[in-house]
Amino acid sequence: MNIAVLGNPNSWYLSDLQRAAREENSQDIRFHSLPFSTIQAGIRNGKADDIRSAEQSFRMFDAVLIRTMPPGSLEQVIFRMNALHLFERSGGLVLNCARAIEIAVDKYLSLGLLAQSNLTVPETIICQTAEDALTAYERLGGDVVIKPVFGGEGRGITRISDPALAVRAFRMLEQLEGIIYLQSFIAHGGSDIRVFVLGQRTFCMRRQNLSDWRTNISLGGQGQPYEASEEVLKLARQAATVVQAEIAGVDIVFTPEGTPVILEVNAVPGWKGLSEVTGTDIAMEVTRYLTKRVGNHQEQQLTDSKDVSN
């Protein structure tokens, strides 16, 4: 079984998956790195399924695993996602699916869909002008978090509770023709929980940062073992389902009253800190999940082809 991994060839996660594949003696599975930057597509003979990268056709692989979503121009990003969509339409297996990546990478869209599914999220206002942003700032109580609509790992996130600083920040974003994404700050005591969703299974840890309100491990947060309630785990699974992700990292904080609130759903979640904290070989779990998922997909493809022939 051959899995193409769209991502950095020097990534620790690729190495960890390859290590897990070597140790999983019962299955012959190999992970191959392919870059997003060399994806090309062909349309010929009434078909649009000739998708390849680094001169290797996606058809050579049993599945494509997305491990990053690199920056690029608007045209590049749209083309890459459309190529994945067309590969899926032609019967290819992509995890997470292209639509899940599109939803999760867009904080406005993902949070809006979560809210429409009656899942609790922070009060959020998205606008385009400094004037509207200042009104939103006051409406949200004068203590807000400004986030880039696209991005992750805590990058570009700022907490503002000073009106003068808010005015300067909003004017700068307006001049840059950026979207101003404001979210009410939830006093979470410097900690949140990360739930790693893998199909219907969940793995969880608590993250705490004593020197920064941002809890990301990449920003100095420390992971701790955490036994989440079934209510919280169910919430995480529901959130992953809403964004159509089979593999997801769901970030949840608790209000001072104890209400769980979903901050974000990551469709390309890391697991290095989680593996260390929980003692669970997450890469092995992902490898086994992919093996089962590919088998189910191939069986479904065979069934569908028989139905068409009949």
| Shared-domain flag, residues 113 and 200 | yes
CATH of the domain at 203: 3.30.470.20
In a domain, 273, yes or no: no
In a domain, 275, yes or no: no
Q: Are 293 and 95 in contact (CB under 8 A)?
A: yes
In a domain, 278, yes or no: no
| Shared-domain flag, residues 195 and 179 | no
| Shared-domain flag, residues 54 and 109 | no
| Shared-domain flag, residues 60 and 167 | no
Residue 188 confidence (pLDDT): 81
Instruction: Please give the radius of gyration of the chain, using alpha carbons only, rounded to the nearest integer.
Output: 21
Half-sphere exposure of 56 (CA within 13 A, CB side): 16
Burial class from Cβ neighbours inside 10 Å (0-12, 13-18, 19+) for residue 280 reads middle
Residue 1 confidence (pLDDT): 92
| Shared-domain flag, residues 140 and 35 | no
Residue 108 confidence (pLDDT): 96
Domain count, the chain: 3
In a domain, 304, yes or no: yes
| Shared-domain flag, residues 39 and 78 | yes
| Shared-domain flag, residues 108 and 256 | yes
184, 210, 225 — which closes off a domain? 184
163, 184, 205 — which closes off a domain? 184
Q: C-alpha angle with apex 57: 55 to 59, nearest 5 degrees?
A: 170
In a domain, 108, yes or no: yes
CA distance 291 to 269: 19
| Shared-domain flag, residues 253 and 110 | yes
CATH of the domain at 44: 3.40.50
DSSP state of 186: P
In a domain, 166, yes or no: yes
| Shared-domain flag, residues 90 and 155 | no
Burial class from Cβ neighbours inside 10 Å (0-12, 13-18, 19+) for residue 175 reads exposed
The tens place of each residue's pLDDT in the chain, 310 residues long, gives: 999 999 999 999 999 999 999 998 656 899 999 999 999 999 988 888 789 999 999 999 999 999 998 888 999 999 999 999 999 999 999 999 999 999 999 999 999 999 999 999 999 999 999 999 999 999 999 999 999 988 765 567 899 999 999 999 999 999 998 899 999 999 887 789 999 999 999 999 999 877 666 766 666 678 899 999 999 999 999 999 999 999 999 999 999 999 999 999 999 999 999 999 999 999 999 999 999 999 999 888 888 777 666 5
| Shared-domain flag, residues 180 and 194 | no
In a domain, 150, yes or no: yes
Segments forming the whole domain that contains residue 161: 124-184
Residues in the chain: 310
Residue for token digits 């920056």?
71
- 3-state SS, one letter per residue, for 217-250: HHHCCEEEECCCCHHHHHHHHHHHHHCCCCEEEE
| Shared-domain flag, residues 153 and 209 | no
| Shared-domain flag, residues 110 and 204 | yes
Contacts of 68 (CB under 8 A, 6+ apart): 6, 7, 8, 11, 36, 268
Residue 70 confidence (pLDDT): 84
Strands 2-6 and 30-34: parallel
Q: Given CA atoms 204, 208, 212, 217 in this order, what sign does their dihedral have?
A: negative
CA distance 213 to 191: 8
Distances (CA, A) of 272 to 17, 101, 129, 151, 239: 11, 21, 39, 19, 22
